Amino acid sequence: MDCLDEGLPLVVEGTLWYEWLHAIDHSLNLNQQDSFMYIQFTAIPKFHEYGTHTLAMECYKWLSDHCKKKGMHKQAGKYTEKVMEIYQKLVKGDISL
């Protein structure tokens, strides 16, 4: 939390570090709908846009773990499938997502 408190004001908006710190911040509050939506509809597309597909995979993993804890196994499986889909493409050298 200290890293977030100190780091967020220092990063430039629109940079990868800005998006990553915001994603981490929201991942700590996944019980809140706006944080869940931020990860799914803002952070993940941004990471794909920046070409950092492994960060997008990490976000899908957060969503999957959160859904498993909530007993939402079907949705958790959907996010786990997205992780595997990205991973398989990256292993093949395909970075176009």
Residue 29 lies in a domain: yes
Q: Over 60: is that where the pLDDT of 1 sits?
A: no
| Per-residue pLDDT, 2 | 59
Residue 96 lies in a domain: no
Q: Over 70: is that where the pLDDT of 7 sits?
A: no
Q: What is the pLDDT of residues 9-37, one digit of tens each?
A: 666 788 888 888 888 888 888 899 999 99
What DSSP letter does each residue of the chain carry, written as one string?
-HHHHHHTTTSPTTSHHHHHHHHHHHHTTTTSHHHHHHIIIIIHHHHHHHT-HHHHHHHHHHHHHHHHHTT-HHHHHHHHHHHHHHHHHHHTT----
Residue 97 lies in a domain: no
What percent of the chain is modeled with pLDDT above 90?
53
| Per-residue pLDDT, 4 | 59
Residue 14, domain extent: 2-91
Number of domains into which the chain is organized: 1
